A and B are shown apart, each in its own frame.
Chain A
Amino acid sequence: MIKPLNTHLRKICFGLLLAAPAVQAQITDGVVRIGVLNDLSGTYAGLSGPGSVWAARQAVADFEPEKHGLKVEVIAADHQNKPDVGASVARRWFDVDKVDVIVDVPTSSVILAVNEVVREKNKVLLVSGGGSSDVTGKSCSPNTIHWTYDTWALANSTGKAVVASGGKSWFFLTADYAFGHALERDTVSVVERSGGTVLGEVRHPFPGTDFSSYLLQAQASGAQIIGLANAGGDSIVAVKQASEFGITASGQKLAGLLMFISDVQALGLEAAQGLMLTAAWYWDMNDASREFGKSFAAANGGKFPTMAQAGVYSAVTNYLRAVAAIEEDGNGAKVVAQMKAVNTEDKLFGEGSIRADGRKIHPLYLFEVKKPAESEYPGDYYKLLSMIPADEAFRPMSEGGCPLVTLN
Chain B
Amino acid sequence: MKKTFLALSVAALLSNVAFADDAADIAELKQQMAEMQANQEALVDETSNAQVGFTTVDTSYSHNGMGAAASKVYNSKSPLSIGGYGDMYFASSDKPGANNISDVYHFVPYIGYKFTDNIILNTEIEFEHGGSNAEEAIGAGSAKAEGYAIIEFMYLDFLISESFNVQLGHLLVPMGMINLRHEPTLYNTIQKPLTEKYIIPATWHSTGINTYGKIGDTGLTYNAGITQALELNNADNGDKGQIRDGRPGVTGKTLFNTAAFVGRLDYRGVTGLMMGASMYYGDASQGSVADATALIYDLHATYEIAGFKAKALYGATSISNAENIASNTTGEPNQSITDSNGYYVNLEYDVLASFATTQKAPIFVQYDYINPAATVVDSLGNTIAENVSETATTTIGLNYFPHEQVVLKADYAMTDFKAAGATDYNTISLGLGFIF
Are A and B associated in one complex?
Answer: no
Residues of B within 8 A of A (CB): none
